[in-house]
Structure 1
Amino acid sequence: MTSEAPLYKNHVMLLSQNFFIKDNQAELLLYAHKYDFDILFFNEMRDFVAAVQNDQGHSLFVIDLDALHNMQSDLLESRKTLMLGELLQRLPSEQSYVYLQTVRQGGRFLLQQRLVDSNCLAYAEKPIANDVLVDKLFNLFVQRKRGDLVRLICLGEETGLDEAALLERRVELIRHADAQTLHLRVKELQPDIVLISDTEYARTEAIVRVLKKNIEADPVREITLLQRQPDAALARRALASGFDGIVPMADADLLTEQLVNRANKIRVNKDLIGKDRATGLLNKVGLQKKAQELIRQAAREERPLAFGVVDIDKFKTINDTWGHYFGDIVIKRLSLTLAPHIGERDLLSRFGGEEFVVVFWDCTLEQGWQRLDAMRQSFCAIPFEVKPGDLRHFSFSGGVAAYPEYKSENELFLRADAMLYEAKEGGRNQIRVAPAAQRQGAHR
């Protein structure tokens, strides 16, 4: 396949033994490509170090410790094994590494200590199934991303938290003063964490039950009690009433670090639950939550939204003719084609199979049609090499609906999907909008 941009933005660089690469390369690549990253294999220390030094910041570096036995030390020609200390000295110190080791090696605590004290991002014991290894590496890619903003609402007196410092670490702190309106604020802003001081809880003990019994409450939202002085009886009542945890608030810096750690775990969990692993885009679950939040923001700020649904034309034929593996490549290239057209507050989702959803912030129906049609033209221009010398071009069809004409995420999707159906019935490779606002597009 030929294209203007590399198919895989992220890479794993693997330093391993020749036989491990030979026996596992094809299967490792197959699994990795489904997770939208590539693996580059090395069996020479010199080449591996050079690749690490030249990396542009989108890679994980994996070292199979068994490879040391097959790498001759250039310090002592008589010794056939590169020692661990020599390896650690040669690795660029500004990067972190994933180490693969045997169960025997894993049983040596001093070895584990040396690894984790030497730029170790993670370690894993062999034998490890190829699909499991790739899944774990994907999780590390997720954890290294900057991630979405985590929103935190705090009810109660001054905690000493540094709002600017939290925001720098992607945690937004919102203060709220009234316990009896907290449930309304939580419903409006949909925070990831709610902090309630012990003073406020003592005044209004029903507060957590009110938050949790709402049928629309986010089941993964954390509600935490901030406790100034130890009080075992109060803590037991708080946990019984629904609090997820209790945190002392005597030290503001310590509290800040705990909140940042919690935010990081929430961020990773949200990515794993709400992201499509093959493309890294929002999945159906992630889109629903994000789209509902965006609609609430649009209502508060009186901004329009354009909601688009697109579907690759004749995708079953693509799979049947050139195989599902090639179909996966077409899906990934479409995701890479759509992404540059997405603004900071827009949403992009692989909704399922070959169907994608975009939500444009502060965008009218007319503008939404124009932007989605530009995406269509970009995708149509990509040549796919289905076999040597045989280039093909593919297309997608789409439909657009607009907020505030349609108020909910479900209404917007159903209307846009109906327009997509019209585009398919009308000849494909086009974008359709509501009848009163249809535009003359290409390939009508």
Structure 2
Amino acid sequence: MAEKIDSLQEKLRALEAVFIQKLPSKIAEITQTLQQIVERPDNKDAMVVMHRHLHTMAGSAGTFGFAEIGNQARAFEAILKPHLEGAPWTNEELQAYSQEVNSYFDYALKYDTKPVNGVADSVQEEEKDVGTPQLIYLVDQDEAQNQEITVQLEHFGYEVVRMNHLGTLATAVARRRPHVIVIELSFPEGKVAGAEEIGRIKQIERFRIPTVFVSHSNSFDSRLLAVRSSGDGYFTKPVDVVALTERIEAILQNHEDQGFRVLIIDDDAVTSKFYGAVLRDAGMNVYLLNDPTQILTVMTDFRPEIVLMDVYMPVCSGVELSRIIRQDNSYVDVPIVFLSSESDMSKQLDAVKAGADDFITKPVSPEYLKSSISSRAERYRSLRALIMRDGLTGLYNHTAIKEQLASEISQAGRNGAPLALAMIDLDNFKMINDTYGHPAGDQVLRTLARLLRQRLRRSDIVGRYGGEEFAVIFPDTTASVAARVLDQVRVAFAKIQQHSEGGGHFAVSFSGGVADLEASLDADELFDVADAAMYASKQKGRNCISQA
């Protein structure tokens, strides 16, 4: 790049761009080597090369945010390993393995490589991809219900694989590990065959797969059996698919890495790299800053959940730097921890008075450092969620989404990048509450919130602006691209069958408006422009997207 990359986000985007650019050739190396093995199953050299390619892919894909590709490469590597060690292939095994590998990587290239906006104008205008869908295995003999559940889950962006027989589940799990299994508790093979099969898979699988049981029975004994089989959810038939989706989302969120954002400020590059490596090993996102004069820019771009700094630095002291941070109302609650060899209690007290939350004396064991930082970051995240999140949907609330937009506009201005804002309003929402009741209305709000989170990129920011109105910030995206993406979400949402307490089903639509920085560089004005575009959609007859 011609411009100097001066923020972590830009560096990550640049690295991700390089990974995406090279991904097709890396996959081609895997599939070409696999073809050599298919032609000569005893080709040990080809298997060694294949194993190396898969091992490299397993490590690199997750690093750049493509966890599903990394996990699947690791699964393919595990299947290959016994044959690399001498176990012969049967023709059926090799053909099945070849088909699985080729099918998956064809799928990954189509769905898990999204354009990196900002590289070229032509790239910005491409449709925005949302990554590989999360995989659900649906195991039940009730084909009619399987079809209904599949259609609904696919509207939410999941990939669903249906199975009618228990015998196919273990083989499928070995070849491609799902994110969640939804399974009938009882099968004709035995009274509790579904639970027994999950128990057997759990014994042979290194990682437990989240499982949701469904059953015609609502008895205590059935529910207890599901609990003893490590079930993460239990639904009686006919299954409320919206409620099932809520449970699946909650399960997947609980299994995500914490990924606390930690900013380390120290003029000693070697020491900061050491502590950064310790915290990264614990799954945290770490930004190393050796120049304290860049603190305000980094605080804005990286948005740390905890700051770890030394007391003594050449440009200014840690105490002075903490006071600079505390001068900004946006950062008064961000935890600041001093990490220093200073043992003078009076100087430690001065640091705390300046706004620090803790003082850790060097040397410190890696385990203590990880525990101390993660506990403080967790408390900060929890408190921020109470302050910034809407209680019903879990999205950013009105105040928080406005703050996020102002911050994103500032960053887009520094980077010369596009940014779009969408306003969304549910159609005829008062009538839904009056007809089906407020609990059904709340369910509709949660459903739309969940669909937006699943269908959009991780970098897109979603908030509940108020009532039945939502806002979405699309970084690095023009209004035309954002409008097309939002229209796809609109179509999917309108197909979802909502459930009322009386057992009825109904569908809901929404109207939206999109604007970008071409309309205004002021956050409040941009909200007004996008809101006006949304009302234009209402005037057109609702259930459409308008661009300012």
Does TM, scored on the shorter chain, surpass 0.5? yes
Distance 1:204 1:383 in 2: 56
Task: Confirm or deny that 1:174 pairs with 2:287.
Answer: yes
- Per the alignment, residue 363 of structure 2 pairs with 250
Q: In the aligned structure 2, how far is the partner of 1:141 from the partner of 1:274?
A: 22
After the TM superposition, which residues 14-413 of structure 1 pair with which residues of structure 2 at under 5 Å, given as runs? 53=199, 91=228, 145-147=256-258, 149-157=260-268, 158-159=271-272, 161-167=274-280, 169-200=282-313, 203=317, 205-214=319-328, 216-251=329-364, 253=366, 254-384=368-498, 392-403=506-517, 405-413=519-527
1:136-156 deviations in whole A, cap 9, x for unaligned? xx9999765434552424233
Q: Is the 8 A contact 1:147 1:267 kept in 2?
A: no
Q: Return the structure number with greater helix share.
A: 2
* 8 Å Cα contact 2:264-2:289 kept in structure 1: yes
Q: Flag the 1:288–1:412 CA change in 2: closer, same or farther, 3 A.
A: same
> For the Cα contact (< 8 Å) 1:148–1:267, is it kept in 2?
no
CA deviation profile, 1:177-232 (whole Å, cap 9, x unmatched): 33444345434543222222122398464332222123x43222112221214111
C-alpha distance 212-48 of structure 1, shift in aligned 2 (>3 A): farther
Q: Is the 8 A contact 2:388 2:400 kept in 1?
A: yes
TM-score (norm 1): 0.62
**Which residue identity does 1:150 align to in structure 2?**
R
Which amino acid in the other structure matches residue 208 of structure 1? Answer: S
| Equivalent position to 1:5, from 135, 138, 152 | 152
Q: Per the alignment, in what secondary structure is the counterpart of residue 516 of structure 2?
A: strand
Distance 1:199 1:419, change over 3 A: same
Q: Once the two structures are superposed, what CA deviation does each residue of 1:89-138 show, in whole Å capped at 9, x if it has no partner?
A: x956xx699xxxxxxxxxxxxxxxxxxxxxxxxxxxxxxxxxxxxxxxx9
Alignment check: 8 A CA contact 1:311 1:398 kept:
yes
Q: 2:532 corresponds to which residue?
A: 418
CA–CA distance in 2 between the matches of 1:282 and 1:322? 27
Q: Which moved more, 1:241-250 or 1:52-61?
A: 52-61
Residues in 1 aligned to 2:318 and 2:343: alpha-carbon distance in whole angstroms: 19
Check 1:163–1:295 CA distance in 2 against 1; reply closer, same or farther (3 A cut): farther
Structure 2 CA distance for partners of 1:420 and 1:267, relative to 1, 3 Å: same
CA deviation profile, 1:267-292 (whole Å, cap 9, x unmatched): 33334443334333333354345444
- The equivalent of 1:432 in structure 2 is 546
Do the aligned residues in 1 keep the contact of 2:422 with 2:472 (CA within 8 Å)?
Answer: yes
- TM-score under structure 2 length normalisation: 0.52
The one-letter code sitting in structure 1 at the alignment partner of 2:334 is: R
Q: CA deviation at 1:298?
A: 2.8
C-alpha distance in structure 1 between counterparts of 2:479 and 2:250, whole Å: 37
In 1, Cα distance between the equivalents of 2:501 and 2:318? 69
In the superposition, relative to structure 1, how do residues 261 and 391 fare at CA in structure 2: closer, same or farther (>3 Å)? closer
Q: C-alpha distance in 1, partners of 2:260/2:318?
A: 29
Change (3 A) 1:316 1:265: same
Secondary structure of the corresponding residue to residue 313 of structure 2: helix
Q: Is the 8 A contact 1:276 1:282 kept in 2?
A: yes
Question: 2:539 and 2:385 mapped to 1: Cα distance?
Answer: 36
Q: Is the 8 A contact 1:142 1:268 kept in 2?
A: no
CA–CA distance in structure 1, aligned partners of residues 504 and 280 of structure 2: 51
Q: Please state how far the C-alpha of 1:391 moved relative to its aligned partner.
A: 5.2
* 1:419-441 deviation line (CA, Å, top 9, x unaligned): 2222223332222222xxxxxxx
Q: What is the rounded CA distance, in whole Å, between the counterparts of 1:151 and 1:247 in structure 2?
A: 15
Comparing 229-238 with 297-306, which one deviates more in the overlay?
297-306
Contact 1:310 1:420 in 2 (8 A): yes
Question: Percent of aligned positions with the same letter in both sequences?
Answer: 27
C-alpha separation between the residues in 2 aligned to 1:8 and 1:328? 18
Letter in 2 for 1:323: G
Contact 1:198–1:227 under 8 Å retained in 2:
yes
Gaps of 5+ in 1: 10-40, 62-69, 72-81, 98-137, 435-444
Q: What do the CA deviations read for 1:287-321 (whole angstroms, capped 9, x no partner)?
A: 34544444344334332122111111110011011
Contact 1:226 1:246 in 2 (8 A): yes
Distance 1:153 1:205 in 2: 15
For residues 420 and 373 of structure 2, the distance between their equivalents in structure 1, rounded to whole angstroms, comes to 35
